[in-house]
Amino acid sequence: MGWEVPAPDGDLGPRNPIRDAVLGTIEDLAPKLNSYVFTNVLKDDEDSVTQYSRIRSLAQRRGSLFLSVMLSCEVDEQVRRIDAPDRIARLKGSDPERYRRERYRRERDHTKLFQPPPGEAVRIDTTTIGARQNAETIHEVLLGQGLERRSRAVAARRLTDEAMAGEVQYAWRGTLTDGEMVDLVESHGGRPAVGWWDRVRQYSLGWVTARTENGVLVGFVNVAWDGGDHAFLLDPKTRSTRQHEGIGTAVVALAVKHARAAGCEWLHVDFNPELASFYLGACGFERTDAGLIHLLSEK
């Protein structure tokens, strides 16, 4: 899938809201057994590096295989294929001369394309090779990286998930012990600090818990505040066996609702770049300028 759509001036350009929404849905809702193919022309610039890193990080968080494929084709052959009926049916670009002009413009301007890290990409010249053979080549590479073994492992995790399945129940300021927080953090490979929740709870406006019908804690987020207009979203967590089910989005949505009900005007959050699709796409936060001082760093 791609997320390039016609811009108002007729050019093609990435629309970040579309990109964020797509990645956010895959991150938080899509089953782990689903596979995705992203098709992009990435230039050798910072935005392309960020796009590539986000998709690779998303695959890692889903426990999925990640493979970069660099496809090339001679111009005349690509122009011949560009208006094929199957491309038109899939709403792909179908103007041969526009494509030829774009290729020549890139060559004239010496436009450089993004290059994945060494050893991370499969390169295929498709000029004389059909789509089916290309697909078989890619499949063979994935098999060599453990595709079948990974699929069996994901299926086994799904069986474990079903044992904990059932309607998830959400609560604001629900009962929550420090031991449960330790278990939740450990469930996805984190490093829990015993006593952490007992220490920070007193500074919270509130928190959201997500539990299965049998009471197992599967999601959490904390909301700190300044006693006035500003609240701060902290430490969202989802049990590893229940990720990509919408639990993370749901606990944040409930936190937003109760922070608003408490009279707060602003809800703040900071996050690593690879989580932008979750916060900006799935949860509805907007980008803003901010500052940060690491108080433990030496000046």
- Cβ-in-10-Å burial (0-12, 13-18, 19+) of 144 comes to exposed
Give me the chain's average pLDDT, please: 83
Q: Where exactly are the structural domains of the chain?
A: 4-153, 165-268
Characterise 195 by phi-psi region: left (phi > 0), alpha (psi -120 to 50), beta (else).
Answer: left
Whole-number percent of the chain with pLDDT over 90: 34
pLDDT of 11 above 50: no
Give the pLDDT band (50/70/90) at residue 92: confident
pLDDT of 86 above 80: no
Per-residue tokens: 166 = 């059932």
Q: 153 by DSSP, 3-state: which? A: helix
Phi, psi at residue 30, to the nearest 5°? Answer: -75, 140
Give the pLDDT band (50/70/90) at residue 167: confident
pLDDT in tens, 220-257: 999 999 999 999 999 999 998 888 889 999 999 999 99
Q: Give residue for tokens 């010249």.
A: 125
pLDDT of 36 above 90: no
Q: 261 by DSSP, 3-state: which? A: helix
Q: What is the pLDDT of residue 51?
A: 87
Q: Which amino acid is at 93?
A: G
Q: What is the pLDDT of residue 152?
A: 59
Residue 22 gets which letter from DSSP?
H
**CATH code assigned to 165-268:** 3.40.630.30
Q: Which amino acid is at 195?
A: G
Residue 43 gets which letter from DSSP?
B
- Cβ-in-10-Å burial (0-12, 13-18, 19+) of 200 comes to middle
8 Å CB contact between 236 and 223: no
Could you give the CA distance from residue 180 to residue 195 in angstroms, rounded to a whole number? 11
pLDDT in tens, 119-144: 888 999 999 988 888 888 888 888 88
The alpha carbon of residue 2 and the mean position of all alpha carbons in its chain are separated, in whole angstroms, by 14
Closest by Cα among 54, 30, 26 to 42: 54
Top-confidence residue, 278 or 28:
278
Could you give the CA distance from residue 142 to residue 126 in angstroms, rounded to a whole number? 19
Closest by Cα among 242, 164, 177 to 207: 177
Give all strands (DSSP E) within 137-260, no chain letters.
169-172, 204-211, 217-225, 230-238
